[in-house]
Amino acid sequence: MQNAVILINTEKGQVKAVAERLAEVEGISEVYSTCGRYDLVAIARTRDFETLAELVTERLNAVEGIADTETLNAMQVHSRHDLETMFSLGW
């Protein structure tokens, strides 16, 4: 499984609309509106790196209202919780 944190800035006045659109995108498990440097944080969970790459370069580009993104690809999980089981996509 590939996990990534995607930091997103939207066009002016588009935070809620973009968040709602992102929540419907396959591979995005959560979307948070935030204070600070970024308008939204999306959590991506995909089967493999190729699927993550397609999500970031194709599916997110199709979401109207996104001004720019920064993707942080997770390398290791440091948690007391079994996140793999909690967020399993059943693959």
For the chain, the residue count is 91
Partners of 5 in the β-ladder: 43, 72
Name all domains of the chain by residue range, CATH numbers in brackets: 2-73 (3.30.70.920)
Q: What is the pLDDT of residues 44-70, one digit of tens each?
A: 999 999 999 999 999 999 999 999 999
Task: Report d(CA 29, CA 57) in Å as an integer.
Answer: 17
How confident is the model over 21-28, as a mean pLDDT?
97
How confident is the model over 26-51, as a mean pLDDT?
96
Mean pLDDT, all residues of the chain: 90
How confident is the model over 9-33, as a mean pLDDT?
97
Print burial letters for 2-39: b (CB count within 10 Å at least 16), e (below 16): bbbebbbbbeeebbeebbebbeeeebbeebeeeeeebb
How confident is the model over 16-23, as a mean pLDDT?
98
